[in-house]
Amino acid sequence: MTMTLDRLTEIKQKNEELVLVRKLVAAKAEEMAKHTAYRKQILVCGGTGCTSSGSKKVIDALESEIKEKNLTDVLVVRTGCFGLCALGPIVIVYPEGAFYSQATPEGAKRIIDEHIIKGMICKDLLYPETVHTDGEILPLSKTNFYAKQMRIALKNCGVIDPENIEEYIALNGYLALHKVLTSMNQDQVIDTVLASGLRGRGGAGFPTGRKWAFCKSTKGDIKYVCCNADEGDPGAFMDRSILEGDPHAVIEAMAIAGFAIGASQGYVYVRAEYPIAVQRLEIAIKQAREYGFLGENIFGTGFNFDIEIRLGAGAFVCGEETALMTSIEGKRGEPRPRPPFPAVEGLFKKPTVLNNVETYANIAQIILKGADWYSSIGTETSKGTKVFALGGKITNVGLVEVPMGTTLREIIEEIGGGIPNGKRFKAAQTGGPSGGCIPSVHIDTPIDYESLSKIGSMMGSGGLIIMDEDTCMVDIAKFYLEFTCEESCGKCVPCRIGTHRLLQMLDDITKGKATLEELDRIEELAEHMKVSCLCALGQTASNPVVSTLRYFREEYIDHIVNKRCTAKKCKDLLHYRIDPDKCKGCTLCARNCPVNAISGKVKEPHHIDVNTCIKCGLCMQNCKFGAVFME
């Protein structure tokens, strides 16, 4: 059945109040809830993080309790990611907006019995930050984690049920597609995206509108729209969360892109490591077809568009655009030289537009709210917001969306809640294996595409890994090189051999086998790789080394000259020793040493012969007095 504006409006009105209860502040939400069939709504995060923490068991417990108590006016909704993954599983009860963290099935029973039935919020189960000292409950938007965030790409994540298209429609879903198809021409759509200043969120930051304009101007009977959901940067999970929490936003945007460039077929290339995202996307595509947002003659305008999912199979290089398309074609996912650019010759040799998930997630709102609204957010050169996956040594691990230009300090100290265990901030890593690190001296840099590349890092797809003083920068550089070395597809020589050589040199440094000349060689090789590798994987592979060398050179020198790793991470440079003041001479360590490296008489301090020691650590494990230490 063809979708019409009337039907769309009807579905929107039918569901609007139900969903708005979750968006409004408490008093208004309570008023709104009276208009719906449900007195209480319990939202439970069903994203990967919370599912792994056991949110399914919480949902089961809630539902069985509701059934047992016959509470017909209570609704349980499984949503996408709320962002605060470290505190999962997360449960929010509306209209109050009570935010329960680290929920358990037992806690779920109490929420039903005490909160839902008796109206007494279980304050001891709430996220502590939402309980004010005087006992009052703060709305989520007032907590440090959420206060500085601005949600555009994530606006529906954690709000709607991603498996229910009507909830997406309730929050203006598919209205942008209708607007585009019925009142705009191709150029107007492209001009709007161009004027918004939206740039590719996959990392490179190419203006999205310009990409679309290139592809539209290329002649061709068949064109394709692709979505890059091959989120391979370790530590980045923005795209996964969007697909899990708001898949229709991506579908709608792809259809809009299809109209703008004149394509009728789209492909989403998703990592197979993301089973929940794939499943939600499948459901969403099916529903979009049933409701007439995909398929033939959409909104009766004669525009046809459909989407297919293609699964990746674990190759990082397939995040590179030409490699991704080669993989969809069913071949080895190797990149090819550009030009020709995909906009001219892409998938199946046809003109193709390829954008990242997060980029698409902005499109519908740019169409609805206008380019001026979008370009008013952010900095001079980087408009809008950026989603970061905040991870590593940070209190609030999770997903955050902030306007471009927010400083790293705001993200780490305010939103992220600082570094745990009283440790000191050492560096932040952005851009994954292609990016670099930001040392503490640059913590007040406003984040945008240009400022990050100026200080030797890059925006990347949005992984933001925080490191404290226990992190060894040489070891981290080596970690990334191991990654790119393994993921190099092997097609071009500079990358295949260059990554190996770089890794070898780093390995020598962490083992105390290198000389200072190694540092010059690393920099020289990095320079060569930057100019001669075929694709971005190789061109940027040296970034983690170059940027750590730039800011933490003394740490490299310490490894090479003094054979010392102050972060105590590089095992080969560490030695086990016994503190003579703490050693009681119990002989337990000596008896457990597999290579008889420990000597000493009973009741006298023992000694480890570092030349014999194989660093197995058994002495340290066995010592009851904490006398064995590493240095």
- Residues binding another protein (CB under 8 A): 48-49, 51-53, 84-86, 88, 231-237, 240-241, 272-275, 310-316, 327-334, 348, 389, 391-393, 397-398, 429, 432, 463, 465, 467, 471, 476, 479-480, 489
Question: Do 81 and 52 contact (CB within 8 A), yes or no?
Answer: no
Of the pair 56, 584, the CB lying nearest another protein is at: 56
CB of 321 vs another protein, minimal distance in Å: 16
Q: Cβ–Cβ contacts within 10 Å for residue 67, how many?
A: 10
Of the pair 256, 535, the CB lying nearest another protein is at: 535
Type of residue at 386: K
Of the pair 229, 533, the CB lying nearest another protein is at: 229
Instruction: Write b or e for each residue in 514-541: b if 16 or more Cβ atoms lie within 10 A of its Cβ, otherwise e.
Output: beeebbeebeebbeebbeebbbbbbbbb
Of the pair 31, 282, the CB lying nearest another protein is at: 282
Of the pair 95, 439, the CB lying nearest another protein is at: 439
- Give 414's contacts (C-beta < 8 A, 6+ positions apart): 144, 147, 148
Of the pair 479, 625, the CB lying nearest another protein is at: 479
Of the pair 59, 193, the CB lying nearest another protein is at: 59
φ, ψ of residue 543 to 5 degrees: the values are -50, -50
DSSP string, 404-434: TT-BHHIIIIIIS---GGGPPEEEEEESGGG
CB of 489 vs another protein, minimal distance in Å: 7
Q: Give the residue among 453, 457, 512, 506 at the shortest CA–CA distance from 481.
A: 506
Of the pair 15, 79, the CB lying nearest another protein is at: 79
CB of 235 vs another protein, minimal distance in Å: 4
Q: Give the residue among 537, 535, 509 at the shortest CA–CA distance from 522.
A: 509
Distance, CA of 246 to CA of 241 (rounded, Å):
8
Question: Do 578 and 605 contact (CB within 8 A), yes or no?
Answer: yes
Identify the residue whose tokens are 């003041």.
581
CB of 538 vs another protein, minimal distance in Å: 17
CB of 57 vs another protein, minimal distance in Å: 12
CB of 239 vs another protein, minimal distance in Å: 9
CB of 441 vs another protein, minimal distance in Å: 21
Name the DSSP letter for residue 332.
-
Q: Cβ–Cβ contacts within 10 Å for residue 4, how many?
A: 13
Residue 312 half-sphere exposure, CB side, CA atoms within 13 Å? 26
CB of 310 vs another protein, minimal distance in Å: 7
